[in-house]
Structure 1
Amino acid sequence: MYDPILDALRRGAVADALIAAEALVAERPDDAQALRWLSAAQLQGGQPDAALASIDRAIALAPDNADLHLARAGVLVGSRRPDEAQASLAQATGLDPNQFTAYLVQAQLALGRGDLEEAERLNRLAARVSPDHPQLAAVEGMVTLRRGDADTALKIVSAALQVAPEEVQLRYSLGFIHMALGHWAFAEQAFRGVVERTPGADSLRSLIADLIRRQGRPADAADELVPLVARNNAPALHRYIGHLRLAAGQDEEALASLRIALAGQPRDRDTVLAIIEAWRRLGMQDDARNTLDAALATTPDEHDLWLARLLFEPVGSAEARAVVERWVSAMPQHVPAMEAQMSVLDAAGERDAAEAVARRIVALDPGRASAEQRVVEALFERDPVSAIARVGELADQATEPHHKRSLRSWQAFVRDRAGRYADAAATWAALARELAPTRLPLWTPSGAQGPWPDVAPIPMSSAGRPYPILLWGAPGTVVESIAGVLGAISHRLRGDRFLPNPPVDAFQNYHTPARLLSGELSGEACVAGWRETLANRSEDGGIVDWLPWWDNALLLALRPHLPEALLIIAVRDPRDAFLDWLAFGAPAPLALDDLDAGARWLAQLFDQVADVHEHDLFPSRLIAMDAIKDDAAAVAQALSRALGAQLTEPPSSGARRFPAGHWRHYADVLAGPFAALTPVAVRLGYPEA
């Protein structure tokens, strides 16, 4: 979108750049970046006043965008009048300033478009004209900053300011360098120096306000912006003030600003979301309805406004239905509006009408998930075989492999509901085999049986401090429900071991059990390495470390060197766990290409859990997930009992897994895997059949 402008600027084709930029701004008048590049083209084309006006319009649209303020700094340099440049440079060098100014303006333009080599080259040419001019340091400092060396940039600009403390461009550069270093207060001070020394630089106050916000003073940040409102009544500025007032807890003042922002930009999602929060805090549902109705009267085709309006009616109520009918009337071909209509019809028990809407959606947007699910549900109620066939047709039509696999898995779930258990299992097994090459291999359980080192006394240094919790569950135990609850109510959960950049320690390495048993890795070194990574993962050592694997060989390290830890293990009937793993997968993407081998492996994991529990090998709590896996409040209650502390009960996600005992439907088709799992199921207290 911006490439034609940038390409023309690089080629020096100013006229082409201006034409492209003006066309883009005409098409997208609220695009701050388009205005930024229009400003650059205008400046390069010898229109400094227009350039300054364009960049100020851009800042009005995005007042907290630091890059726009940096661009404005470049415009100010390029906007200097020749006579002003003559006076300042004649005193310093006695040379013709026009050549110097031209080089410097071109260097600023090159810097603005990210061409650091060109900016550096032009700055060297400017230095030949006036080698001691302080503005050279401003360009040099910014080039150095853009190359990632903020400390050196700070030295360059600070030294120049010692010589020319009143030079505004140096203060601009200093402010951006301090920002890069996270020195918010120093950056604020530098930019205030620009405002004090430069008439008309008030737009910089929005950047100063953002720096104040970063220092944890949102109310002061909002106050900083108030003087701008008299000169710049832009909706974006009012939105920004509203956000700051919300952050400061000044909800009534926030609502006042956000009303103005919404009136000026009813299509702006950030404004809509912020004003929803203000109404929610103040409990002003009637005001929300009236204000949104007024906005919809002038902007009836705005999706976000309709969604916001729906938020202020009870779900499934007659009032909500009336809003949806108005939405569909205003946007009759808008699929989300039709989806809302489908939902309210279902809530009212008008099943046939909901299905009819779903079929209209599919006609407009073939394959739309919400509508296809509703159509399949309707078919299932009449004829399960037709529902299965419908999903199969969708899978056949899909061209993207991931989408096709998702539809095949859905078809398996429909088969499960229809009692076609053999077909369902066959589909899941086929999908598991296809995915196996892209999945992690199953780790080899060590079978460690002891003898175990003594559990060390809990160190005195741990007294009164949060203790570490190790969380784990075998595939299919739905341990992720425990992790979800802990993540919702505590900042201590760490799920980074399942992310692309996990901590590098022994708890992440499949080979750790074998190394501990052989003596290649000592228990002390194992825990020491974990503590090293802990420094970047927890401020006080209190952590819930969600482990991707478990082996009892870890007890060789934990018993003597981490006795203050608590191990929480999710458990479930191993046969239900195996079925869940096959159908739903697991948090760690483990390969399951051979069902019998996978079941034997899973049985070994549960045997280790039974060993820990029966012989009290380590401080641990088993959380039985069979009846609570889908109920976040029940999971929180189980954790409360396990930890001896009352935990907050978060809302459930609505996700559902197979009910306890569902494995029995698959007793014949999965007889081999279940035969391997039944002994350990009985050992854990589950019935044999």
Structure 2
Amino acid sequence: MQDQILQALRQNDAGQAVQLAQAWTRDEPGKAEAHRWLALALQQQGQAEAAMEALQQALQLAPDDAQLHLQHAGLLLALRQFDGADEALLRTTGLDPNAFPAYLMQAHLAVGRNDFDEAQRLSTLASRLEPDHPELLTIDGMVALRRGDADRALALLSAASQALPDDTRVLYALGFAYLGKDMLAFAEQAFRRVLALNPKMSSLHGMVVQLALRQGNVEAAAEAMQQALQQPELDVPPMRRLAGELALRSGQPLQALEHLLPLLQSLQGERQVLQLLLMSWQRLGREDEARARLDEALESNDQLHDLWLARLAVEDVGSAGAVAVVERWMAAMPGHLPALEARMRLHDMAGEHEQGEAIAERITTLEPGRVSGESRRVEGLLQRDPAAAVERVQALIAQAPEGHRADLRTWLGEIQDRTGQPEEALRTWMALQTDQASQRLPLPPQAKAPPSWPEMASIDEATRDSGSAPIFLWGAPGSGVERVATGLAAASPVLRSDRYTANPPDDAFQNYNTLQDLASGVLSPERLVERWREHLPARGLESDTVIDWLLWWDNALLWALRPQLPQGRLLLVLRDPRDMLLDWIAYGAAAPLAMTSMAEASQWLVRSLTQIAALHEEDLYPHVLLRIDEIGNDAHAMADLLGRVFGRPMPPAAQLGAPRLPAGHWRRYRDVMGAAFAQLTPVAVRLGYPEE
């Protein structure tokens, strides 16, 4: 439907576009996108007031949609400056090809109807007449923003805002450009400025509330929410839900219930409302009220998955009350797999393993290959017939689509490990590593230690006063550094994991040629640090106080860090090197590094960890060796460890990841990995681990 409407708009057939959009809104009245396109069509037809009404309906349905807010800005422009402008502007440029204002207006309209190619074309035409006009920066910035190029959008719109400081369209778009870079404080400032200049744009209040909340500024969020709810058009369910969340964060669960309870009937299946209600009842100790309210909601609609989950959450885990709720759930929704999975877990909690396995078989009958049922069936086989458990997983691999086999092959190795077959497990894991090697990065190069290092610079008073405190996080494959990063992400807004994404920073820490460039003089130590700093604003950082999770590490980087960044610190994650190698083979690494053979991997790991040992023994740079051997999958233990390192309490992450092989598990593989372990043992001892 969207494509048909866009085609009609491009052909200037506004009537057809309106008819299509109206039909869409009748078919799907609760879909914001339908009302959005109706507003576009009505605006094209010249019905600006009707377009505003349609757009307000879309904003009520999706108050957090950035595209709707940008469209709203464009429609306000249309209401303020012209009516039915398309034909007049076409006539103007037809008569006078040098009519610069007409090109600008056409370009703004093209942005408003999502015709970005046309907007860019018109901007290019206009730039031939007045290449330095700030309005062109605005148009190009809006186009870049809509196309997802946040860096270019931010640069263009920042320049436009300097030239047009009170233009609400520019500030509006600039706010969303800041959001695209996760620069929340700047986005909030931009949106508050828009509201100050144009109080009629009341739908922005909700955005300001959310931005304040995301920054942890509950007081500012409460003030903005109070202003928002005074606007009749904003007293709608999404804003009431947000008000309930804010009340909870402010420690006012009773006030939260006042906002949220009216939403239980209208938004029964909305997970966030249910979660907020559960938290409110729990903090007030009103479990009986929670049961009664949720049961009442289930009487009117017993086919909502999340409503049943909320009702189950009120009962103690594994209790008779939980069993009763799940039995009701299964009766109301026969064959609903999550209900069956809940019953399976309750059977196992009660020690009713045969019944649990029977439910698992029922699950896999309904959906062959479903992880919950298959893993439970394999667990049952492990207790009775380990060989059959292995065969079951092998059969699943054979039946699975090619794209799903890698995880199953990893699991097969785990099952072989648990059945006391380390040689078979190792063969399974190494075969997977070899198969995936061509799709992964080569192992990073490693430099030899120099005869001497450059002097460590002193930290001057200006640096000390600035609070500059960069931290570089790294751990070799198998160290579990990704668990540390997860723990830090739960506690620190300055952790950056973007080196592991599709859009990493383009600096020397990301480049395999850096060691060679430093050695040859192509890259100076000063330039290495300068270039790193230059990329920090685009990573959403206002200073070099950052926890930068590196893709690789080599001591040769100290040629730059010792003289140029003495205030920095390294956070190096460690486990017993022999456990690290085994973990790397079994599970791969956070950095997708290729492993073509065990010998190559072990030799590379020896060289890498030997550098860490030398750095520690010679105290080459401020650092912490973060040993996480005993942490495992315990998020609270990780938070405690990080709290001791940073000297302040750290909140635990929701979870650190799937369980891995425990500390010391390498000893079970002595016979099949003896040569590799013999290479690693000397550096393990240097790092403080036992020889045996």
Counterpart mapping for 1:319-334 below 5 A: 319-334=321-336
Match of 1:188 among 181, 184, 195: 195
Match of 2:419 in 1: 418
2:438 aligned partner: 437
> In the alignment, what sits opposite 2:360?
358
Amino acid at match of 2:422: Y
SS of match in other structure, 1:568: strand
Amino acid at match of 1:359: E
For the residues of structure 1 that align with 2:286 and 2:79, how far apart are their CA atoms? Answer: 49
1: CA distance between counterparts of 2:375 and 2:574?
32
Where does residue 604 of structure 1 map in the other structure?
607
Deviation (angstroms), 1:9: 4.7
In the other structure, the counterpart of 1:628 is 631
Moved more, 520-529 or 39-48: 39-48
Structure 2 residue aligned with 1:24: 24
Matching of residues 9-158 of structure 1 within 5 Å: 9-11=9-11, 17=17, 20-38=20-38, 54-63=54-63, 65=65, 68=68, 112-115=112-115, 146-147=142-143
* Contact 2:364–2:374 (8 Å) recurs in 1: yes
Paired with 1:209 and 1:426, the residues of 2 have a C-alpha distance of: 56
Q: Is the 8 A contact 2:473 2:572 kept in 1?
A: yes
Residues 116-148 of structure 1: CA deviation (Å, up to 9, x unaligned): 6889999xxxxxxxxxxxxxxxx9999777446
Cα deviations across residues 97-134 of structure 1 (Å, max 9, x unaligned)?
Answer: xxxxxxxx999986653236889999xxxxxxxxxxxx
Is it true that 1:543 corresponds to 2:550 in the alignment? no
Structure 1: which amino acid aligns with 2:607? Q
**For the structure 1 residues 388 and 31, does the alpha-carbon distance in structure 2 shift closer, same or farther, using more than 3 Å as the test?**
same
Decide whether aligned partners of structure 1 residues 239 and 608 sit closer, same or farther in structure 2, where only a CA change above 3 A counts.
Answer: closer
- TM-score, normalised relative to structure 1: 0.78
Asked if 2 retains the 8 angstrom alpha-carbon contact of 1:116 and 1:143, the reply is no
C-alpha contact 2:247 2:255 (8 A) present in aligned 1: yes
Alignment partners' CA distance in 2, 1:72 and 1:514: 52
8 Å Cα contact 1:144-1:153 kept in structure 2:
no
Aligned to 1:136: none
Look up the equivalent residue of 2:449 and give its one-letter code: A
Shift of 1:461: 3.6
- When residues 117 and 501 of structure 1 are mapped into structure 2, their CA distance, relative to the original with a 3 A threshold, is closer
1:4 matched to which residue of 2? Answer: 4
Deviation (angstroms), 1:563: 3.2
Question: CA offset at residue 300 of structure 1?
Answer: 1.1
Matches within 5 A, 1:576-655: 576-639=579-642, 645-648=647-650, 650=652, 653=656, 655=658
Instruction: Say which SS state the counterpart of residue 489 (structure 1) adopts.
Output: coil
Question: CA separation in 2, counterparts of 1:140 and 1:545?
Answer: 36
**TM-score, normalised on structure 2?**
0.78
Per the alignment, residue 407 of structure 1 pairs with 408
In the alignment, is the contact (CA less than 8 A) between 1:25 and 1:31 conserved in 2? yes
Deviation at 1:479, TM superposition (A): 2.4
Tell me the distance in 2 between the aligned counterparts of 1:22 and 1:598. 62
Residue 493 of structure 1 and its aligned partner are, at CA, apart by 2.8
Q: 1:393 aligns with which of 372, 392, 395?
A: 395
Mean Cα displacement is larger for which, 454-463 or 406-415? 454-463
**Alpha-carbon distance between aligned partners in 2 of 1:682 and 1:10, rounded to the nearest angstrom:** 71
Alpha carbons of 1:112 and 1:626: their partners in 2 closer, same or farther (altered >3 Å)?
A: closer
Q: In 2, are the aligned partners of 1:630 and 1:656 still within 8 Å (CA)?
A: yes
CA offset at residue 588 of structure 1? 1.0
Equivalent in 341, 349, 352 of residue 351 of structure 2: 349
Question: Is the CA contact 2:308–2:329 (under 8 Å) kept in the aligned structure 1?
Answer: yes
Question: 1:296 Cα deviation (Å)?
Answer: 1.7
Alignment-derived partner of residue 198 in structure 1: none
Given that 2:21 and 2:41 are in contact with CA atoms closer than 8 Å, whether structure 1 keeps it comes out as yes
SS at match of 1:602: helix
Q: Tell me the distance in 2 between the aligned counterparts of 1:178 and 1:520.
A: 38
Helix, strand or coil: the match of 1:569? strand
* More displaced stretch, 256-265 vs 651-660: 651-660
Per-residue deviation, residues 312-333 of structure 1 (Å, max 9, x unmatched): 2222222222222222222112
- Residues 572-581 or 108-117, more deviating: 108-117
User: What per-residue deviation string (whole Å, max 9, x for no partner) do you get for residues 544-593 of structure 1?
Assistant: 33322222223333334433333332233322211111001111111111
CA change 1:427–1:154 in 2 (3 A) is closer
Q: Tell me how far apart the structure 1 counterparts of residues 163 and 573 of structure 2 sit (CA, whole Å).
A: 58
**Which stretch of structure 1 is more off in the superposition, 459-468 or 360-369?**
459-468
Distance in 2 (CA, whole Å) between partners of 1:75 and 1:564 is 51
Q: Deviations over 1:252-273 (max 9, x none)?
A: 4443222222322223344334
Match of 1:167 in 2: none
Distance 1:232 1:480, change over 3 A: closer
Q: Which whole-Å CA distance do the structure 2 matches of 1:74 and 1:142 have between them?
A: 12
Report the secondary structure of 1:205's partner residue.
coil
C-alpha spacing 1:185/1:572, structure 2 compared with 1 (3 Å): closer
- How many residue pairs align between the two structures? 633
> What percent of counterpart residues are identical?
43
Letter in 2 for 1:114: N
- Higher Rg of the two aligned structures: 1
How many angstroms does 1:157 deviate by?
9.8
Between 40-49 and 367-376, report the one with greater CA deviation.
Answer: 40-49
Question: Partners of 1:150 and 1:585 in 2: how far apart?
Answer: 42
Tell me the secondary structure at the aligned position of residue 478 of structure 2: coil
Q: Distance in 2 between matches of 1:623 and 1:207?
A: 44
* Other-structure match for 1:373: 375
Separation in structure 1 between the aligned mates of residue 498 and residue 576 of structure 2, nearest angstrom: 28
Letter of the aligned partner of 1:405 in structure 2?
A
Asked if residue 656 in structure 1 is aligned to residue 659 in structure 2, the reply is yes
CA contact (8 A) 1:18 1:41 kept: yes
- Gap change, CA 1:534 and 1:362, over 3 Å in 2: same
Question: Residues 180-329 of structure 1 correspond to what in structure 2 (within 5 A)?
Answer: 183-192=190-199, 195=200, 205-208=202-205, 210=207, 217-227=220-230, 229=232, 235-236=237-238, 238-243=240-245, 251-279=253-281, 282=284, 284-329=286-331
**What letter matches 2:195 in structure 1?**
E
Counterpart residue identity of residue 566, structure 2: P
3-state SS in 2 of match to 1:567: strand
Counterpart of 1:206, as a letter, is S
Instruction: Mark the CA change 1:188 to 1:347 in structure 2 (over 3 Å): closer, same or farther.
Output: same
Cα deviation for residue 508 of structure 1 reads: 2.8
| Equivalent position amino acid for 1:562 in 2 | L
Partners of 1:179 and 1:617 in 2: CA distance: 44
CA distance in structure 2 between the aligned counterparts of 1:56 and 1:525, rounded to whole angstroms: 51
Q: Distance in 2 between matches of 1:72 and 1:540?
A: 34
Q: Is the 8 A contact 2:107 2:139 kept in 1?
A: no
**Deviation larger for 476-485 or 112-121:** 112-121
Structure 2: any 5+ residue segments left out of the alignment? 89-104, 123-134, 145-155, 178-186
